[in-house]
Chains A and B, each alone.
Chain A
Amino acid sequence: MSDRPMTTATPILGTLLDRRRFLRISAGSAAALMAAGMIGGRVARAQGSFDGVTLDFIGIPGEEGQVELEAWRAENGVTLAATPFGSWDEVFAKLRTDTFDLALVANPYVSLWGQAGVLTPLDLSRLSNWPDVFPALREGDFLRDASGNVYAVPIAWGDGPFVYVPERVPTAPVSITELLDPAWRGRLTTFDDPILIFHQLAVAKGYPSPMMTRDQLAEIKEEARTLVGNVRTFTGTYQDATDLMVRGEVDLAIGGWEAMLGWAEAQGATLDFDFFAESNGGGWCDSLAIPSNAVDVDAAYAYIDQMISPEVNAQIASNLVSGTVNSRSVEMVDPAALIYDYSIVEDVTNPIKFEAWTPPLEAEGDIATKRDWDDAWAEIRAG
C-alpha cells in the first residue's frame, strides 16, 4: 500500500466535491460563458485596467478561473470567453487554427507544444507570484524546452492513482504488471492513449521512458497488448470510468482521480484508490500558457498571475480538490482538499514527479519517437 494521505478523505470528498457541486461549477462556468458569448464577447464593462478586453481561453471547464476571478475581471474590465474541449490533441489542433489568449496545457504536452511553436516562451518577470510557486513545479523540466524557455505556468496538480472497486478487488495491485495476469481479463478500463500505459510498463521494466529505444518499445508493446487484452472497454472521461465501475462492468480504472470516489458515493457505490509503484508519486499538472497567436498578451499575463496568487489558487485547489501550486496557499486550502503529498512539489530534487511522459517528436539514433509510440498503439488497437 502507498504511504500517501489516506482514504479518510474519502467520505469528505463525497461531500466536498460531489458530482452536483462539480457539475454546478462547470455548468455555471459554461452558462456564464455562453451568455457572454451570446451578447458578443467584447462588451466594454466598468472602466478597468484592460478596458473591455476579452480573453479567449481553451481548456477544461472549471479550471479557467470563471468563479475564482469573477471579481478581478469585473474590476479590470476583462471578459472571459472559454472554449471547452474533448481531448488534449483537440486543443493542439485548435491552437493551430484558431486564436486564443490563454490555453490550459497538461504536463505531457507543454514542452512538446512549445517546441511545435504554438505556445509563447514566457517572460516570468511579469508574474509577481512566480517565486512562490513550489520549487519542483517551478523548476520542472516539463515546462521547458532544451534551451530553458518556460512555456506554461502550473495552476493545479494532482497525483495519479488508479481507482478500483474494493468489493471485487480485495487486495489492490502493487504494480501495473500485475494487471497482465489473465485473472484481470475483462475487468479493466483505461483511456485510449498509449502514453500512460507504455510509460508505466516501461518504468516497471526499468526502461528510461520516454526515451526508450525502438527495441525496448517493441517489448513494451507486447506487454501493452496483453494488458489491453484485459481491458473491457476504453473510457473517455473520469465520469464514464466511474459509471463503468458502479454498474459492475469493470473493477479497476487505470488512470483515475480521487474525485471519482465522491461521484460513486453519490450513486451509492464505494470505490477506493491507490498508486502503482511505477507512478513514483507523479501525476497530472495543468498549466496556463499563452498561445503564440494571442492578441491580448498583457491581460493574459495579468490573468495568469492572478490564477497563481495565494488566495485565488487556494480557492482553485479547494474547488477542484487539486494540489495548490503556491507555497503560501496551503494554509488557505480547504482541509478536505489537502489530500496530496506536498513533498512531491516541495523538493526540487525529487525525481520523476511531473516529468513529460511524451516521447520526442524527432530523435537521434534508435530512440523511439512519438510516431513510433502512436504506430505501436494503433497496431494494438487494430486487434
Chain B
Amino acid sequence: MTAEAARVGGGARRRRVLSGLPLLPAVAWFLVFFLGPLLVLVAFSFFTFRGLAWVPDLHLGNYVEALTDAGFRTILLRTVTIALFVTIAVLLIAYPFTYIITFIFPRRKQWLYFLVLVTLFGSYLVRIYAWRTILGAEGVINETLLSVGLITEPIRELLNSPLAVGIALTNFLVPLAVLPIYSAMQNVSPGLLEAGRDLGAGRLHLVRTVALPLTMPGVRVAAAFTFIAAAADFATPALLGGASGRMAGGAIAREFGQTLDWPLGAALAITLIGVLVLAIGALWFVLGRLAR
C-alpha cells in the first residue's frame, strides 16, 4: 500500500470512529442501566432462596419451577390472552385514528397528534384511579344507566374484572401505539393513495393494499410496544382486576416484594421475557401475512 493510500485509509477509519462517538452516551446508558441489571437478574435466577438468604449455588431449579408450576402457567396464559386482546383493540383504534388525522385532516394532523401526546403527560396512577371512579358501582357509567332506567342494580362487573383491566390498558396504550404508526404514515405519499382512487379503488381497499403494507413496520412496533406494556403491567391488574385477575407482573412482584424469593422472581421474569419474545414473533408473522 502506498503512503498516500494508507493516509487516506487512516483518515476514513478516523472519520468512521468519530462518526460513531455520538452513539457512545446511548450505548453507555444501555449497557449500564439495561444490560447490566438484566445480567444481574439472570445471575440471580440461578441462585437458591434458603432461610431468607440468597445462596449462589447455581442450578436450573427456578426455571424448572417457572415452567412446570401450574399456577404460573395459568397466570402466563391469562397474561398473554389479555395482552393479545388489548393489542388488537389498541391497533383497531390507533390505526384508523392515525390514518384519519394523516390523510383526511392533513392540515390539522399536527394539532391532533399533539392532543394524543398530551394524554401521555398525565400520571399513570391517577388515570387508573380515574377508571375506578368511572367503572365503580357508584361510578359515572352505572349512575347514568341507573338514572335512565336501563338497569335497576349497578353492574358490579365493570370494575374489579379482566374487562376493567382491558379497558384501562387500552386507554393507556392507544397513544403509545399512535406514535410509531404516525411516523410510518409520514412515509406514505398521498399521491399513491390518490392514484389508487383515480383507478377506482375504494378507501378500505386502499388502506389494505397500499397504506397497510407501507406502514407495517410502524404497526409492528406499535404491536410490540402495546403487547409488552400490557403483559408486564402489574399496577392496573392489582387496582382494577379484582381478586382473580393476577397477571405475570403481579406474580413476579410478589416474589421480589413479599416472599423475598428473588431467584425465583428472576427466573419468572426471564421466562416471561422469553414468552413475550415468542408471542411478539407470532404476532409479527400474522401482521405480515395480513399486509400481503
Contact = CB atoms under 8 A, between A and B. Distances in A.
Nearest to B246: A381
A112 interface: yes
A362 B51 contact: yes
Interface stretch (B67-75, B114-122, B189-197, B283-291): B67-75
Interface centre among A87, A112, A378 (most CB of B within 10 A): A378
Contacts of A234: 238, 243
B78 A249 contact: no
Contact of A382 (B71, B160, B259): B71
A170 interface: no
Nearest to B164: A233
Interface residues of A, number: 32
Contacts of B243: 228-229, 231-234
A74 interface: no
Interface string B227-265: 000000000001101111110000100101111110000
A189 to B, nearest CB: 9
Contacts of A3: none
A2 to B, nearest CB: 27
A249 B160 contact: yes
Interface string B106-147: 000000000000000000000000000000111000000000
A228 B243 CA distance: 7
Nearest to B78: A383
B21 interface: no
B51 A89 contact: no
A378 B251 contact: yes
Contact of A383 (B51, B52, B136, B246): B246
A236 B261 CA distance: 20
B136 A87 contact: no
A193 interface: yes
Interface in B52-76: 52-53, 70-72, 74-75
Contacts of A222: none
Contacts of B245: 383
Contacts of A90: 257
Nearest to A240: B239
A193 B258 contact: yes
A89 B257 contact: yes
A341 to B, nearest CB: 31
Contacts of A174: none
Interface string A351-383: 000000000011000000001001000110111
A378 B71 contact: yes
Given A116-B53, A247-B138, A382-B74, A89 B260 contact: yes
A374 B71 CA distance: 12
User: Most chain-A Cβ atoms within 10 A of its Cβ — which of B51, B52, B72, B75?
Assistant: B52
A362 B243 CA distance: 30
B21 to A, nearest CB: 36
B173 interface: no
Contacts of B244: 228-229, 383
B258 A116 contact: no
A248 interface: yes
Nearest to B256: A93
A93 B261 CA distance: 11
Residue among B71, B156, B239 facing the most chain A CB atoms (10 A cut-off): B71
A382 B51 contact: no
Contacts of B261: 371, 374
A341 B177 CA distance: 58
21 contacts: A87-B258, A89-B258, A89-B259, A93-B260, A115-B52, A116-B51, A186-B156, A229-B243, A232-B156, A232-B242, A233-B243, A248-B154, A249-B136, A249-B156, A361-B51, A362-B51, A374-B259, A374-B261, A378-B251, A381-B71, A381-B254
6 pairs of A and B residues whose beta carbons are closest in the complex: A382-B71, A116-B52, A231-B243, A383-B244, A374-B259, A233-B160
Interface of A: 86-87, 89-90, 92-93, 112-113, 115-116, 186, 192-193, 228-229, 231-234, 236, 247-249, 361-362, 371, 374, 378-379, 381-383
